[in-house]
Amino acid sequence: MKPSRRRRALLAAATTLALTGVGAGPAQAEPPPDAPEQIDNGDFSTGIAPWFSYGTGPLGITDGRLCATVPGGLANPWDAGIGQDGVALTAGAEYALAFDVSASPGTPVTAVLQLGSAPYTGYASVTVTAGGTAQRVERTFTVPDDNPSAQLIFQVGGSADEQTACLDNVSLRGGEPPEPYEPDTGPRVRVNQVGYLPGGPKNATVVTDATEPLPWQLRSATGAVLASGSTDARGVDPASGQNVQSIDFSAYRTPGAGLTLVADGETSHPFDISGTLYDRLRADSLQFFYAQRSGIAIDGELLGPEYARPAGHVGVAPNQGDTDVPCQPGVCDYRLDVRGGWYDAGDHGKYVVNGGIATYQLLNAFERTKTAATADGGTALGDGTLRVPERGNGVPDVLDEARWELEFLLRMQVRAGRPLAGMAHHKIHDRNWTGLPLAPQDDPQPRELHPPSTAATLNLAATAAQCARLYASYDAAFAARCRAAATTAYAAAKANPTRYASPTDSTGGGAYDDSNVTDEFYWAAVELWLTTGAPAYLSDLTASPQHTADVFHPRGFGWQGVAALGRLDLATVPNALPAAELARVRASVTAAADEYLTELDRQAYGLPLPGDAGSYVWGGNSNIINNAVVLATAFDLTGDARYRDGAVQAADYLFGRNALNISYVTGWGEHAAQNQHSRIFAHQLDPASPHPPAGSLAGGANAALQDPFAAQLLAGCAPMFCYVDDINSYATNEVAINWNSALAWIASFLADQGEAGAVPAATCAVTYTNHGTWQGGTGFTAQLTVRNTGATVVNGWTVRFAFTGDQKVREAWLAKVTQAGATVTARNESYNARINPDGTVTFGFNATTGGGANPPPGLVTVNGTRCTSS
């Protein structure tokens, strides 16, 4: 790159220090003129990334230079530094290190090329006394060891006085040019490496030059041919650039293990056909959140000894938070205790808008068990189903996990009496970016609260409203606290509707900016109405432009577009919408699902996502899953197996039926991602650090390639090939709570489908009648009438349904009624056990309630089978 006029002038004025050799050793040969450059963005023309700092003030660009304020009085040079990770070194190769450095008023600066983790082996270093005039420093050396991910650190601490240190034109030339990247795509027959449900769709993709249909065989683990047929030629797939053909072997329904598909001389990775394929994935995907917890020691007895660690960010040195955190300068004059919550992604930041959608999806996965016929009343998400410290407390474990984040979200709310009271701070994270790896308890950076935002406040309002209804039957005090926080936050957001997070506030953490919050207002109003039943919230949600808009984008929904969350809840959570309006809301879900099915059929790899580059974005795997969530919800609403099969088939892409033949979920599949970008799980950089735990979802193919590692390695990639399983690629291979929350939701749905057989027809109809309240609204009387619409006698019956909130049965008649949490179970008396065809049985009860919405239940089952409502 030709230097700018300012850069040329700076270079001409710089003092040049030429140093050779390592330490006081002999001089080394110069690298050849065409030696490759190993430093990314060394002239800072594209901003700060991927540079980070520690022990300094925020990094910034001043006159094209990277500068930071360094506090005085630091004891050692290494107590503050500016650096870059992922520097590739080749043993025995010659390198030339060069940089411009200045410091005001002046201080020694040491550049160290080293191993990026303990024991921090140094390969070369040079110290120069930097002053107000930039100096050009050059150094040649030979590297003794191979290291694909070394670290260059400029140590700027140790001065008695505060300094402003600046760098420019940083270069490290040498080593071998990178080999052209050729991903290991394995066999050309691409399958779901986990497997297929016996009654579900079974599809695979063959990469081939052939244009005519090819014969295929399904083989057992011993090589026996179980089924055969011909492929369907699909031509060139735009998303992958490959000529492909499809295999559909859905007609084969016999369970088996170690099966393979053979076509065009290739044999696929092995897979299973089983109705229990995804049972463990439900737990694995949820365990990720325990591994990401902040403010608590992680118990190796629960998660595995390699994941054990002390609590992070509880104010124990070298941590500087999160129990007493100040705001950024000029933002506020108070400090907050914001401990707890989940680390958002590969860094140690905690973001309310990302935490909001992640919390919603965990809560919604639980709430779905109240209304989905296949969910078995939530048995698989109950207490004791996860390895979390709270198991055995009588509360479903998924609610225990979600509460860890909810408590943090509540702590981010501005207290009464303060400016912007009721709003939520947008985020909290390190003042500066840190390098990899870095365990949470070892993070030395100061932590800061960032300004409150309307988007964050509405995320708090929405999730706290969910909390108020879902925790009411387990912890009334916590539910009341959530309700108060939700109503306060919503009012504060309405009073401050345009406080947007700054898109430039990205030093030390992501910006997560959003300047359109009509979707957040809609979602929050929906959740508050579903919880409280208050007419004001109904007025707000029906007046929102989002209420009649098409909120289901072909490319999926995410943290920046959450209107779909409100729509999905309106469609599924029991409520008092007029019948015609509820039908319209539900029809919008099935219409979107129909469009996703059409797209799925169009795509050669069978995913509900368009094949253009713009559809493959940062974290795009979660968008694919969220489209599958819409398909799954359409199935829950209608019982139409087409929607279930679409959601099931979408999972194939995640587990290996893709151009790279890789499972994007750690620990799942023959060839799975394991080097996701994370400071906590950094085995690729430090063998003492673990891989991400099983059930961790990689962000996935991202055609924008926003990180330098991926941009250099994958330039020109077809969209589906824009991914690399390397810890240095944060734009394609990071982990994040809102991606794993999507995985957890769909994993729970998939596990609930069992063998995915034919959907049974309803053989019962139920009428639920609320006869009204008593004692000032603190109680009500209701009855259920069940009609046998089948052709056979029912001899003995068990009716089950769930309340939406804190309703509690006090006494009942004509049935033996018990309640666990929000779930009510009624069993026949001896005298009314028999229900003849077209016969009915009725029972009633009195129940107490603290108030709020009290709609009829959305799902009533008789002997485990869903009844229609009448």
State the Cα angle at 420 between 416 and 423, rounded to 5°: 85
Q: Do residues 273 and 631 lie in contact, with contact meaning Cβ atoms separated by under 8 Å?
A: no
Q: Which of 446, 423, 500, 413 is nearest to 326 (CA)?
A: 446
**Residues in contact with 458: Cβ distance below 8 Å, sequence separation at least 6, in sequence order:** 489, 490, 493, 517, 520, 521, 523, 524
Mark 445-456 as b/e (b = at least 16 C-beta within 10 Å).
bbbbbbbbbbbb
For residue 75, how many other CB atoms are within 10 A of its CB? Answer: 8
How far does the chain reach from its first CA to its final CA, in angstroms?
A: 72
Q: How far is residue 453's CA from residue 420's CA, in Å, rounded to a whole number?
A: 10
691 as an active site residue: the answer is no
Q: Which of 277, 368, 166 is nearest to 750 (CA)?
A: 277
Q: Residue with structure tokens 């994941």?
A: 307
Q: How far is residue 257's CA from residue 251's CA, in Å, rounded to a whole number?
A: 17
Q: How far is residue 136's CA from residue 850's CA, in Å, rounded to a whole number?
A: 72
DSSP code of residue 346: S
Q: How far is residue 759's CA from residue 194's CA, in Å, rounded to a whole number?
A: 24
725 as an active site residue: the answer is yes
Q: Could you give phi then psi for residue 584, rounded to 5 degrees?
A: -65, -45
Q: How far is residue 392's CA from residue 384's CA, in Å, rounded to a whole number?
A: 6
**Sign of the torsion formed by the C-alpha atoms of 304, 306, 312 and 316:** positive
**Residues in contact with 813: Cβ distance below 8 Å, sequence separation at least 6, in sequence order:** 843, 844, 845
Q: How far is residue 559's CA from residue 115's CA, in Å, rounded to a whole number?
A: 36
Q: How far is residue 243's CA from residue 233's CA, in Å, rounded to a whole number?
A: 9
Catalytic residue among 100, 237, 322, 347: 347
And the tokens for 432? 């500066």
As a residue count, the chain comes to 870
Q: CA gyration radius for the chain?
A: 29
677 as an active site residue: the answer is yes
Catalytic residue among 85, 725, 726, 752: 725
Catalytic residue among 168, 443, 734, 806: 734
Cis amide prior to 119 (ω within 30 degrees): yes
Element (H, E) at 779: strand 779-788
Q: Could you give phi then psi for residue 329, rounded to 5 degrees?
A: -55, 130
For 100, 253, 441, the CA distances from 169, given in Å and listed in that order, are 6, 63, 34
Catalytic residue among 527, 677, 707, 752: 677
For residue 642, how many other CB atoms are within 10 A of its CB? Answer: 14
Q: Do residues 771 and 783 lie in contact, with contact meaning Cβ atoms separated by under 8 Å?
A: yes
DSSP code of residue 322: S
Beta-bridge partner residues of 232: 246
Catalytic residues: 347, 677, 725, 734
